[in-house]
Amino acid sequence: MAAPDRVPTELTDRQVRPPSRRPLSRRGLLAAGGALGVGALLTACGGDSDDDSGKGSGGGSEGGWSFRDDRGETAKAGSMPKRIVAYVASAAALHDYGIDCAAVYGPAKLKDGKPAPQAGTLDVDRIPSLGSTGQFSIEKYAALRPQLLVGNVNVGQHLWQVPEQSEQKILGFAPSVGIRTSDVSLVRAVERYAELARSLGADLRAKTVADAKTRFEQAAERLRRAAKANGGLRVLAVAAQPDALSAAVPDKLPDLRYYRELGVQLIAPEKPGPPGYWEKHSWENADAYRPDILFYDQRSNNMPLDEVARSKPTWNDLPAVKAGQVVPWNNEAQFSYAGYAPLMERFAEALEKGKKVGG
């Protein structure tokens, strides 16, 4: 899910030391096949009390909390965590359950100040941020007295957007949970965030959750029907940078993998570069695949669509662009029923209206 060849590297760190009572080892991690999550409505994680208790879905006992994550680690606490810090898309997924985190890290805003696609329905003007892409203020994190850190796991076993050179120090302040969001199907990712939310107090039987799940299932069925009825339409998911147009590898990304399972004919690039998410093409070779429909990655690290249209003539020459068959794509939407239902509805509509133009 990572942006093409974009790995967080920067760090804000004033030599803050984690409390010695909470050492966390990253050794012995197991590669797990889970992924992220879903929304419901209930308690908040931004409170100040350390006295709340609860059971974690990962096997917590009376008066304690635990959750086994997708790195093979079990996060434990004496009581249900309330002061939760999360990657922005993770916080957005939990927010769909009514669990509001104390702070976020990662890209929460676009350059114009509007919410980034990863932020979902979070109020990005109110929730504190520890840093944008590749940034993580350890000093601010320590000041929050965090009780839990939550993030996506995309490449390897590392929490996405937590700088690797200071990961050990950051993980020393509080238990952490990593939910895998690559190499798995969307449903698996959504279910894992639902499990985490439930362990943190969310009521998965609440009407808002049930309604969102029903909408998700109906959207999936609509997408399945659209793919079958308009069979033969080829779809390519892309991200644009000034020097290249990158084609996404469907099986690496949960939503694209799920859409293929539903019958959507997503083009699989032939020669992706490491770590296997994208295949880069120079703009002179932007027509390498000539799809009928384009999914366009709208995250802040990519070129805005209007800028591409102004500056890249080969983009405008693509049959799908000429036909107006370009669909905004959120590569890191919050993994919840509420987060993905409207996206699938939009993709289904594109397939229903789409025409064969790629040749």
Is 116 part of a structural domain of the chain?
Answer: no
Alpha carbons 108 and 303: distance in angstroms, whole number? 17
Q: Which residue has the tokens 């991690």?
A: 29
Is 302 part of a structural domain of the chain?
Answer: yes
Is 56 part of a structural domain of the chain?
Answer: no
Q: What number of residues does the chain have?
A: 359
Mean pLDDT for 342-346 is: 97
Is 263 part of a structural domain of the chain?
Answer: yes
Q: Indicate the average pLDDT of the chain.
A: 85
Is 72 part of a structural domain of the chain?
Answer: no
In this predicted structure, the answer to whether residue 39 has a pLDDT above a threshold of 70 is no
pTM of this structure: 0.83
Is 165 part of a structural domain of the chain?
Answer: no
Q: How does residue 18 score in pLDDT terms, banded at 50, 70 and 90?
A: low
Tally Cβ neighbours within 10 Å of residue 300: 18
In this predicted structure, the answer to whether residue 174 has a pLDDT above a threshold of 90 is yes
Q: Which CATH number do you get for residue 315?
A: 3.40.50.1980
Is 171 part of a structural domain of the chain?
Answer: no
- Output the CA–CA distances (angstroms, integers) from residue 58 to 64, 65, 75, 199, 289, in the order listed: 11, 8, 9, 8, 44
In this predicted structure, the answer to whether residue 156 has a pLDDT above a threshold of 90 is no
Q: pLDDT digit string (tens) for 214-258?
A: 999 999 999 999 999 987 899 999 999 999 999 999 999 999 999
Is 128 part of a structural domain of the chain?
Answer: no
Sign of the four-CA dihedral 170, 172, 176, 182: positive
Give, as one character, the DSSP assignment of residue 3: P
pLDDT of residue 58: 52
Which range marks the domain in which residue 310 is found?
A: 210-353
**Are the C-beta atoms of residues 236 and 266 closer than 8 Å to each other?**
yes
In this predicted structure, the answer to whether residue 3 has a pLDDT above a threshold of 60 is no
- Output the CA–CA distances (angstroms, integers) from residue 3 to 12, 255, 303, in the order listed: 22, 15, 12
Number of domains comprising the chain: 1
